[in-house]
Amino acid sequence: MLRIVGSYSLSIVHELGDFALFTGRAFRSAVGSRRLGKRIVRAGFEQGVRCLPVILIVGMFTGLVLGLQGYYVLNRFGSESLLGTLVSLSLVRELGPVLAALMLVGQAGSALAAELGIQRNTEQIAALETMGVSSHAYLVTPRLIAALLVYPMQTALFITVGLWGGSLSGSMLLGLEPGVYWSSVERAIESQDVRECFTKAATFGLLTIGLCAYHGFNAHRCRSATGARAVSASTTRAVVQSSIIVLAADYVITSFLV
C-alpha cells in the first residue's frame, strides 16, 4: 500500500516538474519565433470567438439562477435591495472566473489537446522539428499567450452577461426596481475584486491551456493506450486535470488575496 502511494506521489511530482519545464520551454521559445503575432491572433480566435456562444449562454443562465435564488433568500430577511450585491460579488469573486474557465476547458482546451494529440500521432510535430521549426514555439506558445489575454476577456463578458441575467430575473420577473439592483451592483464591486477576478482568470488560462497542450503534445507517452485511444485518453486526462486545477487554484488564490 505504502509502495503504491509512494509510486503514485512520485509520478505526480515528476509530471508536475515536466509540466513546469514544458510551459517554461514554451515561453522561452517565444524569443525569436517568427510570425508569432499572427499565430496568437489565430489562437485568440479559437479561444475567444469560437467559445463566445457557450460563455454567453452559461453566463446568462448563471445570472438568472443567482437572481432567482438570491431574491428568495434575501426576501426572507427583507433585503431584496441587496440582490445586486449578492449577484455581482458571487460572479466577480468566484463564479465568473471559475465557470468561464471550466467552459473554456470544455471547448477550447479539449479541442487543443485532441488537435495536438493527432498532430503527434500523424508525425506533424516531428515534421516541424525536422524543418528546424520549434514545435513549442509554433504550437504551444501562441496558445498560452492567447489564453493570458482571452481568459480575462471571456470572464469579463461572462460576468457582464451574468449581471444582466440577475437583473432580468430580479427586476423583470420578480419586480425589483432596476435602479435598486444596478446601484447595489455599483456599490458592491471594488477595484480589489476586479483585480482578484482578472488574476484568477489569467492564472486559470495559463494552467488549463498549458495542461491541455501538455497532454496533447505528449499523447505518444500515454502508458495506457496507443494511437487514437492515446489521443482520447490524453484529452480526457487534460480536461479532468484542468477542471480540478481550476478549483484548486481558485482556493489557493482566494486564500492569498482575501
Q: Using the rule CB under 8 A, is 31 a contact of another protein?
A: no
Q: Report yes or no: 204 and 101 within 8 Å, Cβ to Cβ.
A: yes
Amino acid residing at 114: A
CB of 143 to another protein, least distance (A): 14
CA angle 84, 86, 88 (to 5 degrees): 65
Cβ count within 10 A of residue 134 = 18
CB of 227 to another protein, least distance (A): 13
Q: What is the DSSP annotation of 76-118?
A: HTT-GGGHHHHHHHIIIIIIHHHHHHHHHIIIIIHHHHHHHHH
Grid coordinates of 202: 489569467
Q: Using the rule CB under 8 A, is 13 a contact of another protein?
A: no
CB closer to another protein out of 2 and 131: 131
CB of 172 to another protein, least distance (A): 44
Q: Report yes or no: 209 and 112 within 8 Å, Cβ to Cβ.
A: yes
Q: Using the rule CB under 8 A, is 122 a contact of another protein?
A: yes
Q: Using the rule CB under 8 A, is 228 a contact of another protein?
A: no
Query: How far is the C-alpha of 67 from the C-alpha of 61, rounded, in Å?
Result: 10
- Count H helices and E strands in the chain, helices first: 12, 0
CB of 126 to another protein, least distance (A): 5
CB closer to another protein out of 33 and 232: 33
Rule CB under 8 A: choose which of 2, 4, 76, 132 binds another protein.
132
Amino acid residing at 207: L
Grid coordinates of 63: 445570472
Determine the interface stretch with another protein among 10-18, 20-28, 67-75, 131-139 (rule: CB under 8 A). 131-139
Determine the interface stretch with another protein among 13-21, 115-123, 171-179, 234-242 (rule: CB under 8 A). 115-123
Query: How far is the C-alpha of 56 from the C-alpha of 157, rounded, in Å?
Result: 7
CB of 40 to another protein, least distance (A): 15
Query: How far is the C-alpha of 140 from the C-alpha of 17, rounded, in Å?
Result: 17
Q: Using the rule CB under 8 A, is 124 a contact of another protein?
A: yes
CB closer to another protein out of 34 and 195: 34
- Which residue ranges make up the site for another protein (CB under 8 A)? 34-35, 115, 119, 122-124, 126-127, 129-133, 138
